[in-house]
Chains A and B, each alone.
Chain A
Amino acid sequence: MLRIENIAKTFNPGTITEKIALRDVSLHLAPGDFVTVIGGNGAGKSTLMNSIAGTFPVDKGKIIIDNEDITKWPEHKRARYIGRVFQDPMMGTAANMQIEENMAIAARRGKTPTLRWSAPAAQQKFFREQLKTLNLGLEERLESKVGLLSGGQRQALTLLMATLVEPKLLLLDEHTAALDPKTAAQVLAITNEIVTKRHLTTLMITHNMKDALACGNRLIMLHDGKILIDVKGEEKKSLTIKDLLAMFEKAAGSELNSDALLLS
């Protein structure tokens, strides 16, 4: 489904602020893989995800989705295949526009907009049904501006929007990190439901080790721009935080600076 071949990214090359964010990373995802991504602050997790989404070009390597080389595609063209939820709940929706208008835009993700009416009444029933699955009462608020929603509601809506048109790849970058614990758990539950029910190929960054172990069928850990740990299947199922820390020490030759990661 997704094939990443030897990609690298250095920010501000040749200056004093030069920063190597990804070093020769390769990663293959099978269809339906639900991969959780962990790693300390600055490990390169977001850079990996933004490279796939096309936020910036990579320095070398190839990114292939479903046998199509998208390495040179601009960000907006990649949206045809990729659904995204950002860490910042404000980033995934347009605050000044209604829930309905936001969903109408998401419902034609990847298509060139035309002069047809943007939010036809015929779509409302479909939007309402979709919103109902979130269990947040948003189905009654189709005409509310998104800016009136809470962070958690916006994040749940963004998740729904990102999957309204089935993406070949779903990218979630710490999408629960800015929420309070209760809301975060709620949004994570919705995520699990959507991803597993529809077998979406997904990369989910999280700073919460427990979530990373509990969700998905595969886990990767990034460190200093490299994939340090990659466990899947049965091995992942039985993995504990202690195992993970031991694996990290062995692979990195140092103790994990766990300040940035929630161990519990």
Chain B
Amino acid sequence: MDLIIPTISQGLLWSLLAIGVYITFRVLDIADLTVEGSFPLGAATVAACLTAGWSPVPAMIAAAFTGMLGGIITGILCTKLKIPALLAGILTMIALYSINLHIMGKANISLLQVDTVFSLYAISGMSQANMILIIGLISVVFTSVACYLFFGTEIGAAIRATGCNPHMIRANGVNTDITIILGLLLSNALVALSGALVAQSNGFADVGMGVGTIVIGLASVIIGEVLFGTRSFKNCLISVILGSIVYRAVIAIVLQMGMPPNDLKLFTAILVALALAMPLFQAKLNKRKAAKN
């Protein structure tokens, strides 16, 4: 029972990653592996800034900013240099590993001795766990409203059209190189922000904390879509956030049931593989049903 609030909180902090992955994977139709580098990039940036004495909000803005740069690099690799998007993301991810080490100066920074966004603004009498929930909620509401508004603008519509049909949007005068770069920039800013929040709630930033984040993001997106629908963009955003919370709950439950933590990534990968293969299973099932009738 006492796991419910931390589970929801973690789901909220990670849902920014999920929204970021949604923007590339669903809106732009690109599987962007940059996130594996930009998530720890956000964590590294926030850790470096906090230990240098910055206050948490500017430190998180800096984290989102470095995430943007990561997205721009991948964007330039895949538009201007015509490197396939998947490979472009891998290149940036690998490059960021070194850069993250440079930013942190070592592989791991503890944040237990510095003020984080969760401790500095703590309301007296409120536990750290509740603070994480509140700040998580604020971040998610702010981000999702901003995303919703942005994707309703002319630029946002152009980005959505780019993912859906690049021929169409080019024929209407939009430079798809720019829209792709913008989408990647926005996505990775959110992912880095997620990394910054998660690092502060964990109490440390680690250079290895990006491993598997793309799969976690995909799991959240797919779980959300299946359980909560995809009727409209608003619906999708809410689904993705809820998907991230459900994913955390699933993880909490299987851990409670005795699954060794080392198997978590294997478990998540299998979950995502099954979910991605779902349309195929569904088609086979329908065929069999049709054959029976």
Q: Which residues of A contact B (CB under 8 A)?
A: 53, 74-77, 79-80, 83-84, 86, 90-97, 101-102, 104-106, 108-111, 113-119, 161-162
A-side contacts of B150, CB under 8 Å: 115
Contact of B153 among A77, A92, A109, A114 (CB under 8 A): A114
A-side contacts of B164, CB under 8 Å: 94-97
A-side contacts of B173, CB under 8 Å: 76-77, 79-80, 108-111
Sorted nearest first, the 5 A-B pairs with minimum C-beta distance are A79-B173, A113-B154, A118-B157, A110-B173, A94-B164
- Of residues A79, A90, A106, which shows the largest number of chain B Cβ atoms within 10 Å of its Cβ? A79
Whether B170 is near chain A, meaning CB under 8 Å from some CB there, is: yes
Measured in the bound complex, the distance between the Cα atoms of B168 and A107 in whole Å is 13
Contact of A104 among B157, B168, B171 (CB under 8 A): B157
Is B154's CB under 8 angstroms from A94's CB? Answer: no
Measured in the bound complex, the distance between the Cα atoms of B154 and A119 in whole Å is 8
Is A94's CB under 8 angstroms from B175's CB? Answer: no
Is A118's CB under 8 angstroms from B168's CB? Answer: no
Measured in the bound complex, the distance between the Cα atoms of B52 and A185 in whole Å is 71
A221 to chain B, nearest CB (A): 26
Whether B248 is near chain A, meaning CB under 8 Å from some CB there, is: no
A75 to B, closest residue via Cβ? B170
Whether B156 is near chain A, meaning CB under 8 Å from some CB there, is: yes
Tally of B interface residues using CB under 8 Å: 22
Is B155's CB under 8 angstroms from A94's CB? Answer: no
18 more contacts with CB within 8 A, not counting A104-B154, A114-B153, A118-B154, are: A79-B171, A84-B171, A91-B168, A94-B164, A94-B169, A96-B164, A102-B161, A105-B168, A108-B172, A108-B173, A110-B172, A110-B173, A113-B154, A117-B153, A118-B153, A118-B156, A119-B152, A161-B172
Is A94's CB under 8 angstroms from B160's CB? Answer: yes
A-side contacts of B157, CB under 8 Å: 97, 101, 104-105, 113, 118-119
Question: Given that A94-B161, A113-B157 are known contacts, is A74 also in contact with B168, CB under 8 Å in the complex?
Answer: no
A-B contact pairs, 26 of them (CB 8 A): A53-B171, A76-B173, A76-B174, A76-B175, A79-B174, A90-B165, A91-B165, A91-B167, A92-B167, A92-B168, A92-B171, A94-B164, A101-B157, A104-B157, A105-B172, A105-B174, A106-B172, A108-B173, A109-B172, A110-B173, A111-B173, A113-B174, A115-B153, A115-B155, A118-B152, A118-B157
Is A97's CB under 8 angstroms from B161's CB? Answer: yes
A107 to B, closest residue via Cβ? B172
A161 to B, closest residue via Cβ? B172
B-side contacts of A109, CB under 8 Å: 172-173
Measured in the bound complex, the distance between the Cα atoms of B176 and A75 in whole Å is 10
Measured in the bound complex, the distance between the Cα atoms of B55 and A114 in whole Å is 33
B-side contacts of A80, CB under 8 Å: 173
Interface string of B59-77 (1 = CB under 8 A from A): 0000000000000000000
Is B168's CB under 8 angstroms from A93's CB? Answer: yes
**Interface hits, B192-232 → A, CB 8 Å:** none
B114 to chain A, nearest CB (A): 36
A116 to B, closest residue via Cβ? B154
B82 to chain A, nearest CB (A): 14
A156 to chain B, nearest CB (A): 15
B64 to chain A, nearest CB (A): 18
B259 to chain A, nearest CB (A): 37
- Of residues B152, B154, B155, B156, which shows the largest number of chain A Cβ atoms within 10 Å of its Cβ? B154
Measured in the bound complex, the distance between the Cα atoms of B155 and A162 in whole Å is 20
**Interface hits, B52-111 → A, CB 8 Å:** none
A76 to chain B, nearest CB (A): 5
Is B167's CB under 8 angstroms from A86's CB? Answer: yes
Whether B158 is near chain A, meaning CB under 8 Å from some CB there, is: yes
Is A105's CB under 8 angstroms from B161's CB? Answer: yes
Question: Given that A113-B155, A115-B155 are known contacts, is A96 also in contact with B170, CB under 8 Å in the complex?
Answer: no
A147 to B, closest residue via Cβ? B164
B-side contacts of A161, CB under 8 Å: 172
- Of residues B152, B153, B157, B160, which shows the largest number of chain A Cβ atoms within 10 Å of its Cβ? B157
**Interface hits, B123-156 → A, CB 8 Å:** 150, 152-156
B268 to chain A, nearest CB (A): 27
A-side contacts of B174, CB under 8 Å: 76, 79, 105, 113
Measured in the bound complex, the distance between the Cα atoms of B160 and A58 in whole Å is 30
Contact of B152 among A83, A84, A93, A117 (CB under 8 A): A117
B-side contacts of A111, CB under 8 Å: 173
Measured in the bound complex, the distance between the Cα atoms of B172 and A86 in whole Å is 13
A-side contacts of B155, CB under 8 Å: 113-115
A95 to B, closest residue via Cβ? B164
Measured in the bound complex, the distance between the Cα atoms of B76 and A70 in whole Å is 25
